[in-house]
Structure formats: C-alpha cells, structure tokens
Structure 1
Amino acid sequence: MPQRRDVVAAGAVVFKSGPEVLLVHRPRYDDWSFPKGKLDPGEHATVAGVREVWEETGLHVRLGPPLSDQRYPVSGGRHKLVHYWVGWAVSDEDVSGYEPNEEIDQVRWVPYEKALAKLTYPHDRETLVEARKLRKKTRSLVVLRHAKARSRKSWGSKKPDTERPLLELGHDQAQRLVGLLAAYDVTRVVSSSSARCVQTVQPFAETTEWELEARGKLSEEGATPEKVAKVVGELLDDPAGVVLCTHRPVLPAIWAAVGIPDEKLEPAGMLVVHHRKGKVVATEVHQRP
C-alpha cells in the first residue's frame, strides 16, 4: 500500500509578558491547544502560521525562532505534521472581545504553569517547554539570495551584468516572497544594487511601502569581506527586522560576518537569523517561497 501523505499544518506559540501563552479551545474535540491550521494549496508554512493565528484568535502576530515539528497520527491512517514558531502579537493583545464560533469557542492568555496543566496533549506540553526558553523577543535578519535570473550566456557579455534581470519564474518567486518576509516583521529592505536583486525585493517594498535601499557594496562587483562585514554589523544593530538581498558569491562573507556555518541557498532561498543583543539565537532556512 502506498504511504499516505501527511496533513501539513502550521501555527505559533504566542507569548506576552508574564510569561503568558495564548491557548484556544476547540468545542468539536473539547481540547485546549495552540492556534494552528492546515496550509492552503501552495501556501508556505510561515504564511499559514501567521494567517491561522489571526483567523483563530483575531491577533496579528509575527514569527520568532522555529520550534521542533510535531507529527502524530490522525484519523484515516494518516499523520499530521505541524510546523510551529514562537510568536509575538504586533497589535493589541486584548482577546476579551473574541466572538466564539463552532471552530474556536474560547481564546485565553494563560500563565505558563497553568497552561502546562491545561493543554490537552502531551506533545503540546513538550512544545510549550521548548518555546518558553525562546519566549524573549528576537529580531530577524533575513539573508535572501536573489530570485531566478537570466543566465549570463543568454544576457550577453556586452551588456552590464548588473542590469541582468529576473526571468518570469524569478518575478513569480519575488511575488511569493512578500508574505514570507512579512511573517518575520521585516520593516527594512536592503539590497545589492544589481537589477536582479532589486527586482527580487521590489514587490515586498512596494506592498509594504518600506524604502528599498540599494547598495553597490553588496553586489558581486562591489562586495569585499570588509564591506560586507560592515553592512552586516550595522544591520544586526538595527532594532528593525531586515531583509538583505544579495548574490550567491557574496553569501560566504555574510555567513562569516554573522558567525554561522556556510549555507547553500537556491535562487529565492533565504536564511533567517534570529538574534538578540548581537547574539544569534536560532537560524532557519527556506529554500522555496
């Protein structure tokens, strides 16, 4: 018999000061758990996690460090795979006005120790224990390799390589990146000045109306380890979440500046550095938007 595919879902363990954690009650199962839900067709897990928290609780959240996946059996001989992140509300944390419905009839902020007792399932309690260690807010530096561009051969040697544009596939990838970058509360957009990098982050900048900062020192032609290290140091000191879009040959200098092992990124792939006070707390890689 062919193995059935997992049902894939995403959610967040959302904290506020205390620490208090956000729990939801599902009347259909009479259980207490974290807000989560299945991915829509073609939806990225990060986008689904943010969307599901909003749909189930009314809170707008942004994602912090990733947590261990959950995988457990469900009906029909299948398994559910749930991707979780630590989350923090970016809007009003008040849930007293939540209107109960057939899916979620209670939404509560619950102190940590009481939440451990209230959660229905052992795997949720394990996730909460893991999440508590990461509940303090971090900032995100999203290192992004530009989307799929025209090849150097097809572009021609007589044209400036800095003007080499994205392919149609690359433009599609750039559009899909908008939701991913928003999920990490990115509010600053820094890019190589080369056209293929600018075009990769342009849809996000235009959607959010954040300024797009194009820098020659992040291009293949202008980058040096010293220049890259200076830019990365500045961005790590910034209190905002930042996306930095550049080229594959420049990535090793970025990894060295951050102090993490080399990571191979595909076109439009990104590595999210979760950091606090100059210290890397966690990293995660997403290869396809």
Structure 2
Amino acid sequence: MDVESAGAVVLGRDAEGTRAVLLVHRPKYDDWSFPKGKLDPGEHRTTAAVREVAEETGLAVRLGPPLAPQRYPVAGGRMKTVHYWVGRVLDSSSASLVEGYTYGTEIDRVAWVPLAEAPARLSYPHDAETLAEARALPRGTAPLVVLRHGQAHPRKQWREDDRLRPLAPAGRAEALALVPVLAAYGVSAVVTSPSTRCVETVLPFAGAAGLTLREEPALSEEDATPRAVRRVVADLLDRRAPTLLCTHRPVLPHVLAALGLPDPSLDPAAFLVAHHRRGVLVASEVLAPPS
C-alpha cells in the first residue's frame, strides 16, 4: 500500500521582517524540509496537514491554495504521495516562537528561512520546486468552501415539507467528521440553505467554532435562481473572509457557474474550495467527504 502524507509550505516573515518560509530539520535524516507527516487512520488529508504543522512547529495555520502533490519511491518498494498547501499562520504574534521549538526526537530545529536562501537550504530538489510553485501564487487569498450537505433521510420516505427533511445517521456522522476539515481552512463565516439537512450539516462546525449561521433562502432548492445565487456568491467574495457555503445538489451548478467553475458533481458531504483574491479566482480543489 502506498504511503500518504500531508503538509504545508508556510510562508511568513522572519524576525527581521524578511519574507520567509517555515522549515524543519530532522536529525534522523539530517535534512531540511517542510513540515509534513503521514495521515492517521481515517484522517482527512487537510486535517493531517494542519495537525502536522502544529506538531512539528508549534504553530496553528490555515490552508491556502493547494500545491501539486509530490510522489516518489520510499523503502519497501512503495510510493509516497505528499499533499501540500500554502499555509498561513493564524496568529502572527506567535510566529516568532518557533526558535528553540523541538518535537520529540523527530524535529530538533525549526526556522524561518528567507525565501532567497531557502532553495539552497532545502535538502531535496522536489521541495525547491514546490516552494517555487508556492511563491508564484498571489498572496492574501481567502477560501470559499462550497459544501454539499451530508446524506439525508431518503426523499421518497419523507411525507412532510421537504425543507424539514433531516440528515440520515450517516449524514450526522459526516457532519461531525467535517468539523476539523473545515477548521483547517480557518472558516470564519457560515452561510447555508435554511433547509434542515443543510443546517444540520454545518451546525457541529459552527458550534465548535463559535460561529452564528447565516441562513440564506436563495441557497435552498425551493428558492434558488441563477440570479439570486450569483448575488449571494458575489457578496461572499467581496467579504474576503474564509467562508463556508452549504447548499443542495440542484443548486450547486448555479454556485459554480457564479464562480466560473465546471460542476464536479459533488457527493454528499464533499466540497469544493475556491481560493480567491479580491474576488478573482486563484485556484480551486475538490475534496472527498471525510470518512
């Protein structure tokens, strides 16, 4: 079985204010690389990326645009895939605390390395290529997470108003599993269809994050129109904050058309992340629901 890992290219500034990247040193291999690590059983790759950065550097980050995954052979004849995102430190005042941080015997040094010096410091050519890709992306992006609600009670078995149709037990489990995944993007606002199955999908995350839901009728199956959905999406892009939008399968094509993206036919509890800067799309990614 292949090895799957996740990490982040965390960009920021060093103590002198110079643009820098966060690197870690592993004494076992005597190498400098980005913070990363293997996924725990059942862990979503986004959650693993944020967790590994926190464990190896002591810093909490949120994920920005995705980077091309790295794939290379490892011991035992297996292949390793490392999923990377650009990372942003959530609390800039804590960024300087990495000096002297160690992570057991695995990481003995953490450092902000100026971008001009980082390619020479990195131990592997593929890491230098990943850094170049991260540097080429615009700074100051924000994610708009477009989520299809979790698995719902079957429509054919529901006799009441469809707006009140709740999540199935599997959907409730998906809603709980989404909490750390959505937190990985630093979501600070939640906008949802007022239908029960959408509200129940985002409520566990909103509760954990201390956020108030904004129920938007234009995102419901009954009230959505292309024009109304475009207006909602444009408003969210203007806000420039990490935002979660939860809606229904029939409404998703309107949302994605407003973003200028093709419809990926999301499964229940799957999501698309549109990374934008001042309303201009920079990158997008489609991610499977958490297990």
Find the aligned partners of 1:228 and 1:197 in 2 and give their Cα distance.
Answer: 16
Contact 2:256 2:263 in 1 (8 A): yes
| Shift in CA distance, 281/135, structure 1 to aligned 2, threshold 3 Å | closer
Matched, 1:198 2:199: yes
Stretch deviating more after TM superposition (94-103 or 123-132): 94-103
1:127-174 deviation line (CA, Å, top 9, x unaligned)? 111111126121010000000001111112xx1000001000000000
Find the aligned partners of 2:277 and 2:85 in 1 and give their Cα distance.
Answer: 16
1:137 corresponds in structure 2 to 140
Find the aligned partners of 1:206 and 1:269 in 2 and give their Cα distance.
Answer: 20
Find the aligned partners of 2:233 and 2:216 in 1 and give their Cα distance.
Answer: 12
Q: In structure 1, the residue corresponding to 2:139 is in which secondary structure?
A: coil
2:223 corresponds in structure 1 to 222
How much has 1:44 moved relative to structure 2? Answer: 0.3
2:22 corresponds in structure 1 to 22
AA paired with 2:259? V
Contact 2:138 2:277 in 1 (8 A): no
Stretch deviating more after TM superposition (27-36 or 94-103): 94-103
AA paired with 2:7? G
Find the aligned partners of 2:165 and 2:102 in 1 and give their Cα distance.
Answer: 52
| Shift in CA distance, 253/93, structure 1 to aligned 2, threshold 3 Å | same
Q: How does 1:123-202 map to 2 (within 5 A)?
A: 123-134=126-137, 136-156=139-159, 159-202=160-203
Find the aligned partners of 1:8 and 1:252 in 2 and give their Cα distance.
Answer: 31
Q: TM-score, normalised by structure 2?
A: 0.95
Give percent identity, aligned residues only.
59
AA paired with 1:148? Q
Q: How does 1:255-274 map to 2 (within 5 A)?
A: 255-274=256-275
Find the aligned partners of 2:179 and 2:285 in 1 and give their Cα distance.
Answer: 18
- Structure 1 spans left out of the alignment, 5+ residues: none
Stretch deviating more after TM superposition (17-26 or 187-196): 17-26
Find the aligned partners of 1:230 and 1:194 in 2 and give their Cα distance.
Answer: 19
Q: In structure 2, the residue corresponding to 1:249 is in which secondary structure?
A: coil
| Shift in CA distance, 23/152, structure 1 to aligned 2, threshold 3 Å | same
2:49 corresponds in structure 1 to 49
2:282 corresponds in structure 1 to 281
Q: In structure 2, the residue corresponding to 1:102 is in which secondary structure?
A: coil
1:118 corresponds in structure 2 to 121
Find the aligned partners of 1:135 and 1:115 in 2 and give their Cα distance.
Answer: 19
Moved segments of 4+, more than 2 Å: none
Q: In structure 2, the residue corresponding to 1:50 is in which secondary structure?
A: helix
How much has 1:214 moved relative to structure 2? Answer: 1.2
Contact 1:6 1:81 in 2 (8 A): yes
Find the aligned partners of 2:144 and 2:163 in 1 and give their Cα distance.
Answer: 24
Contact 1:191 1:215 in 2 (8 A): yes
How much has 1:257 moved relative to structure 2? Answer: 1.1
- Structure 2 spans left out of the alignment, 5+ residues: none
Find the aligned partners of 1:86 and 1:14 in 2 and give their Cα distance.
Answer: 6
Contact 2:217 2:224 in 1 (8 A): yes
Q: In structure 1, the residue corresponding to 2:268 is in which secondary structure?
A: coil
Q: TM-score, normalised by structure 1?
A: 0.96
Q: What's the RMSD between the two structures over aligned residues?
A: 1.1
2:233 corresponds in structure 1 to 232
2:66 corresponds in structure 1 to 66
Q: In structure 2, the residue corresponding to 1:285 is in which secondary structure?
A: strand
Contact 1:15 1:135 in 2 (8 A): no
